[in-house]
Each structure stands twice: as C-alpha cells, then as structure tokens.
Amino acid sequence: MLKSKEPIERESVKNDTKKRGEVIMASGWIVRREGKKGVVYAIRYYGPDGHRYYRTVGKRKADAERILYQLLAQIDRGEYTELPNITFDEMACKYLESQKTRVREKTYLGYRGHLENRIIPYFSGRKIKTITPVEVEAFLTTMADEGVTSATVAKHLATMKMVLKRAVEWGYLIRSPAQYIKPPRVPRQEMDFLTPEEMAILIKATEEEHRYLIMCACLTGMRQGEILGLEWGDIDFDSSRIFVRRTCQKGRFYEPKTPYSRRAVVIPESLLVSFREHQMKQIVEGQVYDKDIVFPSQSGKPMDPHYVVCHILWPALARAGLRRVRFHDLRHSYAAALLSKGENPKFVQRQLGHSSIQITLDLYGHLLPETERDAAVRLEQALSSKVVG
C-alpha cells in the first residue's frame, strides 16, 4: 500500500515536551507517509522494555499527536501496557458472544451475517491494532465495486464500528480505525403503497382463513411483528382500540423497542366486527392456542413472517391482479390513505408509533401538498362566508 518503508517526514517529541502542563520524559516520533490513498500518519516510540514500537494511526495528524502524547505519558507514569495481539477474527467472535443475550435474535443474526459473510473474510488473520482507516475505506470500496447497495454497505460499516468500539472499551485498541469514517449516502427509496381501492380488492381476494390478518394490516398500519404478537386481551372492544404491548420475531415475543411503539391504535368499527367473527370462529372450533394469539398458525404457535408473505400476501395480490408489494408496504398504504384524506399528521404519528412527527413527515410529507391546497380552499370559503355574512 505504501510507496516506501522509510518515513517522508518525522517529527521528534523531545524529552522536555510539555502537554497540558505535564512533562513527558519518554521519546517518540510522528511519521508521515505518502501512500496510494493519500497521507497516512503513524507513531514510533520506545516502550518501557526498551523496544521500539510502530503504530499506524490514520489520516489526521492531530490524532497521531494525541495518541503519542497519551502513550508517552502512560510510559512515564508506569501505566503503559502493550496492546494484546488479538486478531480481528477473535475480536469479532468475542463481540458476537457478548451480544447473544443483549439483542434480539433477528438483530444478532444480522450482525453475525455481516461479520461472517464479508467483514471477517476481508480482515481474516489481521491483528486488530494494525488495521488502519485507509483499509476500512478500502473494504467499503470493495463492497461497492462488487455491486453491493449503499444501504447494505452502511449496515456493514455500522457493525464493524460496533466491534471496534467494543475493542477500545475492552483495551484491545486505543482508537477505532473506523471512528471517523462516514457511511455512503443512501439514496431515498421511493416507497410503494396501495390505494384504498386496491386495499379493498386485496382484502376480498385473500383466503377467508387469513382475511382478518390482512384486514388488520390495512386498517391499523401495525408492523408485521406487532400483528403476529397480538393477543385477544390486547383488543379493547369497548373503546375500539388495540393496545400494542409486544412484537413477535421468529416465534419469540419481545417488548416494543421504544415507548412510542407501545401505543393504543384506534381501529374502525368494521375491523371490530371482523375481530368478533374471528374470535367466535376460534371458540366454535375449540382450538387451543399459545398465549391466546389472535393470528396463530395451524399448530397454535405464532405464524412465521416468511409464510405470511409468501403464502398469504403474495398469492392474494396475484388473485387480485395487483403488483407484488412487501407486507411493510401495507403500513405505508395505511399512512398514505389517512394523509391523503386530510387526517392530522400528529394523529398518524401516534397510530404508527413514530417517536417524532418529523419521522412521519419525512416519510410521508410528499403526500401532503394536495391536502394543503384543499385546506387553503376551505380557509378561503370560510373567510368569504364571514365577509358575506
């Protein structure tokens, strides 16, 4: 990667160098190298054992200065310890092991997939303390050159940052080489949604056995996991509300991720009637379901998300003569329908469980112009009537 092993520029730190009022007696150098990716700064210093050590820092001279001064101060105080020679493979395994019981299974599998499929093979066998920011950038560039989307590249960078940050916390690194690397810009993806008319056609085209599930998605905007984790005790027939108290992922129940996701969703009377019919059907059939689940599988367990999409939603879309959309697009369709009919965005935010109105407006703000023009017309009519009166 570098043109020469010899430094192009070397700045020596004298024995009497002062940093923040402290005299540093150890010695070291800041080394500037010119590589294919630009300037790279490194540090050389003598450890308490008399050996000379070399460490690449990155593109910022200020970072090299800071780290060198910290090291020399530690040496003078007798607090210096050489970083362990742990490989990236070993660090990644330690990180994954630490996350098994801290995150949801789906999140953990995402981390493991990023590391095992791409990150570990690229940095396999490398001592973690020798990885440079330039090499992390090169890894991201390699992914992009292979046709990987910007969103996926950004997710891999986020996973790598978490691993390296934990390495700093555990004493394997002084500074993460990925700390200042910015993710690639992810182009905004135009969301797809069904019109209210198309949603009505979809509901009618769904097999009777699963019609209530699709109807619930179209008329509540709830997430798939929230619907699959729904229990009969969560439905308040008197107040026409569904209380979102959990989410289901791969058959396991979890608390909602944020306080805003734990919410009360207002539902229309038509859905309440359908729920009563669905509940009565379960009672008549005399089937016993785990946790009193509203939408169980034939075995009584929570339904598999993949099965819902591939064997319920997509076949229903095909019968309805509609384009193939994701299950999550039914949530978009619900929000779009409300906003296009002039509903208050704040109400839509609460229904969807967004943490802020800004998220709702960022996602669906482009649907508001027609509503805004209608509001201007209504205001004009109101003022005209007052003037005439």
Structure confidence by residue, pLDDT tens digits, 63-116: 888 888 888 887 887 767 777 889 999 999 999 999 998 998 889 999 999 999
Structure confidence by residue, pLDDT tens digits, 97-110: 999 989 988 899 99
Predicted local distance difference test score (pLDDT) of residue 369: 56
How far apart are alpha carbons 221 and 202 in whole angstroms? 15
**When comparing pLDDT for 386 and 342, which is higher?**
342
Mean pLDDT of 347-373: 82
Could you give the 3-state DSSP secondary structure of residue 98?
A: helix
Q: Quick one: 40 exposed, middle or buried, by C-beta within 10 A (0-12, 13-18, 19+)? A: buried
**pLDDT band of 378, cuts 50, 70, 90:** low
Helices (H), the chain: 61-77, 88-99, 105-114, 120-123, 133-145, 150-169, 196-205, 211-220, 224-228, 269-285, 305-307, 314-320, 328-340, 345-352, 357-364, 369-388
Structure confidence by residue, pLDDT tens digits, 337-349: 998 888 899 999 9
Domain regions of the chain by residue span: 9-77, 88-169, 196-325
- Which neighbouring-strand residues pair with 243? 264
Q: By mean pLDDT, which of 108-117, 164-173, 355-364, 368-377 is the weakest?
A: 368-377
Q: Quick one: 140 exposed, middle or buried, by C-beta within 10 A (0-12, 13-18, 19+)? A: buried
Residue with tokens 């009166």: 389
Q: Which CATH superfamily is domain 196-325 in?
A: Intergrase catalytic core (1.10.443.10)
* 3.40.190.10, 3.20.20.70, 1.10.150.130, 2.20.28.90: CATH of 88-169: 1.10.150.130
Mean pLDDT of 17-42: 68
Judge whether 339 and 368 are in contact, CB under 8 Å: yes
Q: Which of 375, 383, 371 is nearest to 337 (CA)?
A: 371
In one-letter notation, the amino acid at residue 289 is Y
Predicted local distance difference test score (pLDDT) of residue 342: 82
Judge whether 227 and 308 are in contact, CB under 8 Å: no
How far apart are alpha carbons 191 and 195 in whole angstroms? 13
Tokens of 355: 């943490």
Predicted local distance difference test score (pLDDT) of residue 77: 79
Q: By mean pLDDT, which of 160-169, 252-261, 306-315, 363-372 is the weakest?
A: 363-372
Angle at 52 between CA 51 and CA 58, to 5 degrees: 145
Does the structure show a pLDDT above 80 at 360?
yes
Judge whether 55 and 129 are in contact, CB under 8 Å: yes
Predicted local distance difference test score (pLDDT) of residue 374: 64
